[in-house]
Structure 1
Amino acid sequence: MNTGSDRESNEPATGDSTKEAAEDTLHVSKAPAFIKARRSLHLSWQVGVFIVGLAVIGAGVAMLVLPGPGWVAIFAGLAIWATEFAWAHLALRWTKRKVTEAAQKALDPKVRRRNIILTSVGLAVAAALIGFYLWKYGLVLPWNIKDQ
């Protein structure tokens, strides 16, 4: 039988891989000790953490269409859940890894050059379409419209 401590002893002696292996096998609640000591109190704590995380994520989803930092709030809600739930902890680690990979890819000179070219072409096309519309129909501001 391979327990978490056996797995850690089979890992290389680097600190990062041992830490990741320990995190994979065991997720420890961040609740205070006196709360973890009583099952009903700990369950109530987890329900509270879930509700607070859900409220923050709900606010983040609302801020995707309203003014505000929507994605930041969604990731903050996920981080709140990750303090108590192993599945949220794993989802948060996966998200952090993907964001880091995307940031590294965005810093690649070839990708940056391609993005700049595509943005420039998109802006030129938008400017041409707006120019054509203004040439064809002109610009009539709402306060210059005459009532008929």
Structure 2
Amino acid sequence: MNTGSNDPGEVAMATDKAEAMTDGARDERGLGSKAPDFIKARRALHLSWQVGVFVIGLAVVAAGIVMLPLPGPGWVVIFAGMAIWATEFVWAQLVLRWTKRKVTEAAQRALDPRVRRRNIILTSAGLAVVGVLAGIYLWKFGLVMPWKIKDQ
């Protein structure tokens, strides 16, 4: 189709072709290396770039794993490391897409009024059980502050 054409048949074909391309390439768009072209043009440079991205991403993911039991935003740091990997590796891009899809689905489920009502009921029941158990413990053993414990 040239820019001066007003033929409706050509416009329809171009629209159909664009729609087919976006449908087929929806999962394919954005996959692959995001390295600058001058780096991708040289195999050795691109390989060393990928090794550097992998090592940096690995360090960030490892720091996130360490932060899981320790204070710190562990999951956020892990996903940041995955995002670093996703600049170079297709598998990391696919994992991030899958994770984003699952988080979006979970957020939509959490906004469902029936699920919210169920979660509130379960939380209330759990707090009631914990309260009853704490009351039984205090009734049976009493409350002794650590600074009032006598050495025996």
Structure 1 segment 55-134 matched on structure 2, within 5 A: 55-134=59-138
Q: Distance in 1 between matches of 2:25 and 2:145?
A: 63
Partner residue, 1:17: 23
Alpha-carbon distance change, 31 to 61 in structure 1, aligned in 2, over 3 angstroms: same
Structure 1 segment 3-42 matched on structure 2, within 5 A: 13=19, 17=23, 20-23=26-29, 27-42=31-46
The structure 2 residue matched to 1:137, chosen from 118, 141, 146, is: 141
Matched letter for residue 33 of structure 1: D
SS at match of 1:80: helix
Residue 146 of structure 1 deviates from its aligned partner by 1.4
Q: Distance in 2 between matches of 1:11 and 1:91?
A: 29
Alpha-carbon distance change, 16 to 69 in structure 1, aligned in 2, over 3 angstroms: farther
Partner residue, 1:3: none
Residue 10 of structure 1 deviates from its aligned partner by 7.9
Alpha-carbon distance change, 43 to 106 in structure 1, aligned in 2, over 3 angstroms: same
SS at match of 1:84: coil
Identity %: 69
Higher relative CO (Cα under 8 Å, sequence separation at least 6) belongs to 2
User: Which 4+ residue blocks in structure 1 deviate beyond 6 angstroms?
Assistant: 9-12
Alpha-carbon distance change, 18 to 146 in structure 1, aligned in 2, over 3 angstroms: same
Q: Distance in 2 between matches of 1:130 and 1:17?
A: 58
Gaps of 5+ in 2: 1-14
CA contact (8 A) 1:62 1:70 kept: yes
The answer as to 2:93 corresponding to 1:51 is: no
Residue 27 of structure 1 deviates from its aligned partner by 2.5
Deviations 1:70-117 (A, max 9, x none): 111111111111110011111110110000000000000000000000
Alpha-carbon distance change, 104 to 127 in structure 1, aligned in 2, over 3 angstroms: same
Give the alignment's Cα RMSD to 1 decimal. 2.2
Q: Distance in 1 between matches of 2:149 and 2:126?
A: 32
Counting helix residues as a fraction of each chain, which structure ranks higher?
1
Residue 14 of structure 1 deviates from its aligned partner by 7.7
Aligned length: 138
